[in-house]
Structure 1
Amino acid sequence: MTETVTPMMAQYLDLKQGYPDAILFYRMGDFYEMFFDDAVAAAAALDIALTKRGKHLGNDIAMCGVPVHSAEGYLLTLIRKGFRVAVCEQMEDPAEAKKRGSKSVVHRDVVRLVTPGTLTEDTLLDARRHNFLAAIAQVRDITALAWVDISTGALRVMECPVLNLGPELARLSPKEVLIADGTEPEFRDIVEDAGGSLTPLGRSAFDSTQGEKRLCDIFAVGSLDAFGSFSRAEVAALAGLAAYLEITQKGNLPLLRPPVQEQRAAIMQIDAATRRSLELTQTMAGGRAGSLLDAIDRTVTAAGARLLDRRLSAPSRRMGVITARQDAVAALCDNSAMTADLREQLRSVHDLDRALSRLALERGGPRDMAAIRNTIGQAAILHQTLSKAELPDLLATAQRDLIGQDELLALLDAALVAEPPLLARDGGFIAPGYDEALDAARQLRDEGRSVIAQMQAEFIKHTGINALKIKHNNVLGYFIETTAAHADRMLAPPLSDTFIHRQTTANQVRFTTVELNEIESRILNAGGEALDIEKRLYSNLSAQILSHQAALGQLARAIAEIDLAASFAHMARQDGWVRPVIDDSRAFHIIGGRHPVVEEALRKSGTPFVANDCELTETPIWLLTGPNMAGKSTYLRQNALIAVLAQIGAFVPAASAHIGIVSQIFSRVGASDDLARGRSTFMVEMVETAAILNQADDRALVILDEIGRGTATYDGLSIAWATLEHLHDVNRCRALFATHYHEMSSLSAKLDGVDNATVSVKEWDGDVIFLHEVKKGTADRSYGVQVARLAGLPPVVVARAKVVLEALEKGEREGGTARRAVIDDLPLFAATPPAPAHAPVKQSMIEDRLRDIMPDDLTPKDALALVYELRELLSGTGK
């Protein structure tokens, strides 16, 4: 017997063929259904029930589904787990399909391919971070990188050698990266290291000639020269993005800003390892909490937060740009009252960029329009507040961009209710009085009963029959009903000319009229008519808004600029940060510098942060010694972070700062193995160190911690020694070099550009106290045994370590042969008789005395006498 495939399943299989690598969300009424392998995979990923629906080729058809109204949450889960989702919608009313016959299937089609880099819904995105889709293209020997956030329209491109793709992708953290088919082996590791998913496209998508025509059509220009002079590789990368957006959005392109060409030379270069080490935007564990971004983000708008994220990821190297940003912060810092007003007013601002993008993709709603309306109105208030002071150029430009949308504001004010619904399909968002036809339809829809009651009164007056009533049921609709006693009058002329007999029951006779039929039709259709009118008005309003997208984009950027400057000013005043001096010298002079993240954490516990100086102007390399836990790593990082903050235009956590432009920052502080690539911790350390020595220029800032610690002592010392010499003689950069190899301190006498510094500690009663103060000089020892004691090693292990240390130090003083003899003669730990299971612990005299005291029995005089007695015991004069 031949198995028959149902028309609906045939439609599903036909649609699925076009998207073999995606899960197909197949719309069936109020659910998105999934079948076959898609259902099995989705049910497991979403933790939902797996059922079945009929058979195919003799096997049960697996099925699962999710409600349409809550589909976004399920979409996000699937995307985060690495799936792509093709969303298939019903393209017609099921009633229309029924008219074609009982076997007709509702027409469906895929309207969107959802991928990690093409999300636009608020519920699927982090409002305070970009969601970048990137593309890598190669034309001959030139490689280019382009990236877009379709939720905001930001589009940028740059030439980028393959060697630098890793650092750039680490900066952008794209969720998805497009490459040409066949190049996966070349780019897979680079993309995955940056946390993105790899998506190959046909090579034709990156054709620069056809791509240029496509881009010109998108931006409605005759040539891309209007936006800059792009190389063929850059055009190819932009073309790849455009082609992919046409595929995933089914031709409904997002609202893209004109492409901006970036130059790598204009921004501070920070490689992926350094970003992880400095924890600029996320911690090594992968979260935002505890990062520099988290510590300094005082912005109150989503656009301002995204701008901070971008700037922190790419500090500027242009003096003019940095100075303009500093001037804006300084102006607001000097006017705290105005800054407070601005920050309060900014809290009422909405996310213009994402609202515009949703409208352009037809995924928006009336609330997006209301958000745009409200933000335009709030921008006028911001403009008025800024007019109270003389502004530097950056703020003055932003202020000008806040106004100029009065016409659009008036339109939206007149058209929209104060609090519209989320979806246009719900209706009720157009304000009364805006459209006469809509008002009439709404009146008929909402006041149908009063219209019928008025008609009933007119019929009673016309017939003189007080018992006449207009009623309604689902079979006849509206009808006129009277008793049989009065029916004869209505069936006879002249009333029979108006009233048409419909039905006779046992006690009642029912009539209708032409006028009643017309009113009934209008009442029944009024709701649908009102909704149709609102949908038409929604489309018109959307078109009007999008026609102002360029000016609204400028407004959004102005709001972000003001928010960021105000947040920096607020932070500077609140936390005591200062404006750094930035110039083109090689200076690096920090007085009273502090680690912004650590200080923020300590502030919450009420603990003050110990500030420290750093002077790399005259001697560009400091060799830093001191024990573990003393704060060397914190000191290294804080100076790198101060440089980053200075070059994003912020004030810095210090008493004063003078920094010559830093071209690159390299950090190798801490390391872990990379088992996936077969690299040990030491290998990772050496790879990162090699990258620094091969790339750092004379304007770089390098921070290194414990180079060579992962191998034998003399191997490690020799590597650290040679590395420091290379930084001094070849790279000629500014550097902080922390080490436990005290032998290296002698290099300061041999290299003019090296100075010694140490982190101060004190010993007290066998314990080590960390002062966290950095001063010139060298550490006398590492205090490793004391730190081990603080860490909680068993006392017998600590005691044994002291014995071994003393023996090793004695041998060191007596020379290599003597050291070997001392070590050979040292008895093994295993040879030492073990302590009794419950051996009594010898107590000090003070502890013995306290053990005999009963505090509740002491008088005040006795307690005072006890304090003096204990003090004498402590000084050794007591008995």
Structure 2
Amino acid sequence: MSRHAVRSTPSDPHAKAGDVVTPKEPTSFDRAGATPMMAQYLEIKAANTDCLLFYRMGDFFELFFEDAEIASRALGIVLTKRGKHAGSEIPMCGVPVERADDYLSRLIALGHRVAVCQQVEDPAEAKKRGPKSVVRREVQRLVTPGTITEDRLLDPARANLLLAIGRRKVSEHAHAYGLAAFDISTGRFSLSEVADGALSAAIARYEPREIVLSEAIHSDPALARLWRDTSAAVVPLAQAELEPASAERRIREQFGVATLDGFGQFSRAEIAAAGAALLYIERTQIGTRVPLSAPSREASGATLSIDAATRANLELTRTLSGDRKGSLLDTIDRTVSAGGARLLAEHLAGPLTDLEAIGGRHAAVAYLVGEPSLCGPLRDALASAPDIARALTRTGLGRAGPRDLAALRDGLDAAARIADRLAEPKDAPRLLKEIGEHLAGVDTGLVAELAAALADELPLNRRDGNFVRAGYHAEIDEARKLGRDSRKVIAALQARYAEESGCRTLRIKHNNVLGFYIEVPQAVGEACLKGLMKDFIHRQTMVDAMRFTSVELGELESKIAGASDRVLAMEGEVFEHLASLVLAQTEVVAGVAEALASLDVTASHAELAIELDWVRPRLDESVAFTIEGGRHPVVEAALRRGGEPFIANDCDLSGKESGRIRLVTGPNMGGKSTFLRQNALIVVLAQMGAFVPARSAHLGLVDRLFSRVGAADDLARGHSTFMVEMVETAAILNQATRRSLVVLDEIGRGTATFDGLSIAWACLEHLHETNGCRALFATHFHELTALSQRLTRLDNATLRVTEHRGEVVFLHEVVPGIAERSYGLQVARLAGLPKAVVARAGAILKGLEASERDRPTRRRIDDLPLFASLADAPPPEPAQPVPVDEGIGALVDELDPDAMTPREALDALYRLKKERARNA
């Protein structure tokens, strides 16, 4: 594996998200003069230089050298020292084994990779080799952002994707990129291929936690921005490890087939991507075979193309601030299971372009909307189904615990009950019938076996034991009885010894060093040594007590210890037996998990439609776009929480009774951006298979959705707001087709007025004449409205505003026509600008408007009309001085902000506050 490994590696704990950095080699791997334990550590660390090494020592995972310094800073734990190496003290820190997952999750979130090194030998066995022998240890797993499987490290509502990228050359200057998307936590595996220009959109759609690719792809200058922008950890692999023949061989070996023909036809780029991912998975899992579903291939153009900027602008899965709350996903999520929540996010990220598939989803939702007596019980049963997809994967990897088996038991039981309910209606649509058929495949015998074997209260780890139900295994019951009875036997033995010795305070106790022992006061102990209790064997003398054992007590201890060990061993055998029963039906269980998730998403859409009065959209192959009473789902939800209504609006871009491009003018705060976004979101909802917030909707299938809404700088790359705006607009104009929907808000506002107007004008013409797409175009350049007289497929619309007693009232109604004013001054006043500033702005505005009226006869500065009118505006009112206490002024004059530390600045602030209070 390449050592140009991941962002935020041990050598750079503070690297920003998506960076790929080269880790610094540790100071020395020289084991000369090292203790045996440290020599072992250095040997293991030398093989894992691109990871933090969690080195198991008893009940702790220890970290040393630079790893310790990084972990100490990242986790906020104490950094200490342990001996010396090469003349320098060895930094060290550690975390308890039982809390290791908590610390791992924090390190993974920061982008680190962690090698988990476990003890693979009992310390007693190591001692047999000699007093200086070290317990054998091995790295059993590399924990990376894209390969984690533990529930405590995963977001239950989000897929944890590893995305591998391969490529092939299609012309002298173009490539096709193969994408292999793996979710190791559930076994999902899909392949697709995209063109050069679609790679960024594909990465944005998948939102991977980790990206694996060849060094050649990673070092391609044309793609440098992609790796810089992504929040995923990026892992380049050496080109020599990714030969086409070895990639295909890995796929065949993974699925145990002689040829890939049975899976369909894959491109060379897709095979390269799959091979790279399987190589990486094999290394991170240290050779453990990961149970994966057969690869499914997504046809080109199967999903609605949405680029990264549009996803961000529309806030599909997270808001612009990065939060899930307030996003479209958060607003529409009514799922009741983890698998359903993940599938809903997947559907939202990749709306379909296949009419038959979309129609199938709509039909299933419509059926449940019409059958609330069926939908409610189905949702109740789904809510009782645990996450069996991830439990199945952990079972296949040998990482499952008793609670995973219980999750499989309960999930399969819920599936069987749901299958019975779905079998009742005979007129159910095809999707619901297919779901029912998958669920009907549950082996009720397996469910019964798991129910009979597993106790009601279960430990997290199998090593803790006591998870087999009483009555399931006779030998376990017998051994447990011995353990329970031993307490009575110990108590009886203690009573007999107390009577024989005449010592009423004699006690039989236990610790991990001595095991069971007899403890008596010092005086009685002396008597025992002189023959009072001939069976007693002296073990230890304390300050005020003496400890003994006896042959009888030793034999009893052996029986008790043996019984406990036998119970753990037998419970382990039961666990392996149950796991093997589950894994024998891996394909069936995986299908059940997918069916449950699909049903949950369908029922979620139905619940949403019933709750919010959403309707089934009509989709076809036309270029229609007619929405009556459309609403913005997120804004409406926010208003509903405050008890306010949302004003619905129509939108017709069909090109029949109206144009295919709608030019929207209107005041700030009038609702232009909301109107634009809501129509784009209705398309996404319709094509993902959901109902939509409208009275009715007739949509011709959209192939690409583009949205340029809002302003954002990209100062890290030296890009201004206007530059970002132009880059995103260029992508739209170059890629939009007749079937696309384009949403543009305020194009050209980030530069000089005439420059911006010219650019907006030209963009409108290009959309109309060249792209021919459906578009919503909001602007404050009212001059553009005149284009409707020349561009036949362009209509004007505006947001209604009224004035009441001098106050502006925004009605948020979209009507045909042109805005008379932008009401910018009123909005500025509402925002709290100083009255003097608003008044001055009003005076300037009057001058500008007068200048515009006089322009035909007054052309004193033709090229600078804005500045020419300034002479007519009244001068600004002089600013009123703000009184300042002389004492405070003197204190301020003494301050030198550039030379002050944060503490000195805080002290100065307190002095000013104190002086102000004194003068009040």
Q: Tell me whether the two structures share a fold, i.e. TM-score over 0.5.
A: yes
Aligned to 1:39: 68
Does the aligned pair in 2 maintain the 1:702–1:734 contact within 8 Å? Answer: yes
Residue of 183, 192, 197 corresponding to 1:163: 197
Alignment of 1:366-445 (within 5 A): 366-390=402-426, 391-403=428-440, 404-445=442-483
Give the direction of change, closer, same or farther, for the CA distance of 1:802–1:425 in structure 2 (3 Å limit): same
Amino acid at match of 2:204: A
For the residues of structure 2 that align with 1:561 and 1:534, how far apart are their CA atoms?
36
For the residues of structure 1 that align with 2:700 and 2:295, how far apart are their CA atoms?
31
Q: Tell me the SS of whatever aligns to 2:742.
A: strand
Residue deviations 1:92-142 (CA, integer Å, cap 9, x gap)? 111111121110000001111111111111111110010110111123444
**Within the alignment, does 1:24 sit opposite 2:58 as a pair?**
no
Give the direction of change, closer, same or farther, for the CA distance of 1:504–1:545 in structure 2 (3 Å limit): same
Residue of 516, 531, 549 corresponding to 1:506: 531
Give the aligned CA root-mean-square deviation in angstroms: 2.9
Aligned to 1:349: 385
Give the direction of change, closer, same or farther, for the CA distance of 1:765–1:452 in structure 2 (3 Å limit): closer
Aligned to 1:872: none
Give the direction of change, closer, same or farther, for the CA distance of 1:829–1:79 in structure 2 (3 Å limit): farther
Alignment of 1:597-612 (within 5 A): 597-612=634-649
1:520 CA displacement? 5.5
Does the aligned pair in 2 maintain the 1:708–1:719 contact within 8 Å? Answer: yes
Q: Tell me the SS of whatever aligns to 2:599.
A: helix
For the residues of structure 2 that align with 1:18 and 1:540, how far apart are their CA atoms?
36
Alignment of 1:453-464 (within 5 A): none
Give the direction of change, closer, same or farther, for the CA distance of 1:808–1:537 in structure 2 (3 Å limit): same
Give the direction of change, closer, same or farther, for the CA distance of 1:836–1:320 in structure 2 (3 Å limit): closer
For the residues of structure 2 that align with 1:280 and 1:827, how far apart are their CA atoms?
49
Aligned to 2:19: none
Residue deviations 1:626-656 (CA, integer Å, cap 9, x gap)? 0111000000000000011001111100001
1:473 CA displacement? 7.9
For the residues of structure 2 that align with 1:817 and 1:80, how far apart are their CA atoms?
67
**Within the alignment, does 1:325 sit opposite 2:361 as a pair?**
yes
Does the aligned pair in 2 maintain the 1:479–1:510 contact within 8 Å? Answer: no
Aligned to 1:95: 124
For the residues of structure 2 that align with 1:730 and 1:795, how far apart are their CA atoms?
47
Give the direction of change, closer, same or farther, for the CA distance of 1:657–1:454 in structure 2 (3 Å limit): same
1:280 CA displacement? 0.5
Q: Tell me the SS of whatever aligns to 1:129.
A: coil
For the residues of structure 1 that align with 2:88 and 2:423, how far apart are their CA atoms?
73
Give the direction of change, closer, same or farther, for the CA distance of 1:789–1:206 in structure 2 (3 Å limit): same
Give the direction of change, closer, same or farther, for the CA distance of 1:806–1:515 in structure 2 (3 Å limit): closer
1:195 CA displacement? 1.8
Aligned to 1:446: 484
Residue deviations 1:631-686 (CA, integer Å, cap 9, x gap)? 00000000000011001111100001101111110001112121122211111111
Q: Tell me the SS of whatever aligns to 1:697.
A: coil
Greater displacement, 134-143 / 723-732: 134-143
Aligned to 2:232: 196
1:824 CA displacement? 4.9
For the residues of structure 1 that align with 2:150 and 2:484, how far apart are their CA atoms?
34
Amino acid at match of 1:655: R
**Within the alignment, does 1:9 sit opposite 2:27 as a pair?**
no
Give the direction of change, closer, same or farther, for the CA distance of 1:760–1:729 in structure 2 (3 Å limit): same
Residue deviations 1:567-599 (CA, integer Å, cap 9, x gap)? 111110110100111111111000000000000
Residue of 667, 674, 678 corresponding to 2:707: 667
1:433 CA displacement? 2.5
Greater displacement, 34-43 / 539-548: 539-548
Amino acid at match of 1:834: P
Q: Tell me the SS of whatever aligns to 1:177.
A: strand
Alignment of 1:548-567 (within 5 A): 548-567=585-604
For the residues of structure 2 that align with 1:192 and 1:294, how far apart are their CA atoms?
28
Alignment of 1:255-654 (within 5 A): 255-390=291-426, 391-403=428-440, 404-449=442-487, 506-510=531-535, 521-617=558-654, 618=656, 619-654=659-694
Give the direction of change, closer, same or farther, for the CA distance of 1:150–1:574 in structure 2 (3 Å limit): same
Q: Tell me the SS of whatever aligns to 2:219.
A: helix
Amino acid at match of 2:694: A
Between the two proteins, what is the percent identity of the paired residues? 51
Q: Tell me the SS of whatever aligns to 1:117.
A: coil
1:221 CA displacement? 1.8
Does the aligned pair in 2 maintain the 1:325–1:650 contact within 8 Å? Answer: yes
Give the direction of change, closer, same or farther, for the CA distance of 1:819–1:608 in structure 2 (3 Å limit): farther
For the residues of structure 1 that align with 2:740 and 2:259, how far apart are their CA atoms?
39
**Within the alignment, does 1:135 sit opposite 2:173 as a pair?**
no
Give the direction of change, closer, same or farther, for the CA distance of 1:258–1:835 in structure 2 (3 Å limit): closer
Residue of 194, 213, 218 corresponding to 1:184: 218
Amino acid at match of 1:664: R
For the residues of structure 1 that align with 2:159 and 2:421, how far apart are their CA atoms?
29
Does the aligned pair in 2 maintain the 1:166–1:194 contact within 8 Å? Answer: no
1:402 CA displacement? 1.5
Give the direction of change, closer, same or farther, for the CA distance of 1:513–1:13 in structure 2 (3 Å limit): closer
1:13 CA displacement? 0.4
For the residues of structure 2 that align with 1:652 and 1:829, how far apart are their CA atoms?
51
1:454 CA displacement? 9.8
Q: Tell me the SS of whatever aligns to 1:217.
A: helix
1:476 CA displacement? 11
Aligned residue-pair number: 812
Aligned to 2:761: 721
For the residues of structure 1 that align with 2:844 and 2:368, how far apart are their CA atoms?
61
1:326 CA displacement? 0.5
Greater displacement, 47-56 / 73-82: 73-82
Residue deviations 1:396-432 (CA, integer Å, cap 9, x gap)? 1111212331121122122111232111000011122
* Unaligned ranges ≥5, structure 1: 481-502, 840-879
* Unaligned ranges ≥5, structure 2: 1-30, 171-175, 519-527, 537-548, 884-920
**Within the alignment, does 1:61 sit opposite 2:101 as a pair?**
no
**Within the alignment, does 1:227 sit opposite 2:252 as a pair?**
no
1:260 CA displacement? 0.8
1:798 CA displacement? 1.5
Does the aligned pair in 1 maintain the 2:363–2:429 contact within 8 Å? Answer: yes
Residue deviations 1:526-576 (CA, integer Å, cap 9, x gap)? 101110111122122112211211101111111111111111111101101
Does the aligned pair in 2 maintain the 1:471–1:478 contact within 8 Å? Answer: no
Larger Rg: 1
1:504 CA displacement? 8.8
For the residues of structure 2 that align with 1:817 and 1:111, how far apart are their CA atoms?
85
Q: Tell me the SS of whatever aligns to 1:183.
A: helix
Q: Tell me the SS of whatever aligns to 1:510.
A: coil
Greater displacement, 251-260 / 52-61: 251-260
Aligned to 2:735: 695
Q: Tell me the SS of whatever aligns to 2:265.
A: coil
For the residues of structure 2 that align with 1:805 and 1:543, how far apart are their CA atoms?
80
TM-score, normalization by structure 2: 0.84
Aligned to 1:112: 141
Residue deviations 1:439-470 (CA, integer Å, cap 9, x gap)? 2222222222556899999x99xxxx999x99
Give the direction of change, closer, same or farther, for the CA distance of 1:316–1:35 in structure 2 (3 Å limit): same
Does the aligned pair in 1 maintain the 2:623–2:739 contact within 8 Å? Answer: yes
Amino acid at match of 2:631: R
1:830 CA displacement? 9.7
Aligned to 2:289: 253
**Within the alignment, does 1:121 sit opposite 2:158 as a pair?**
no
For the residues of structure 2 that align with 1:680 and 1:454, how far apart are their CA atoms?
85
**Within the alignment, does 1:153 sit opposite 2:187 as a pair?**
yes
Greater displacement, 197-206 / 509-518: 509-518
Aligned to 1:845: none
1:831 CA displacement? 4.9
For the residues of structure 2 that align with 1:322 and 1:504, how far apart are their CA atoms?
89
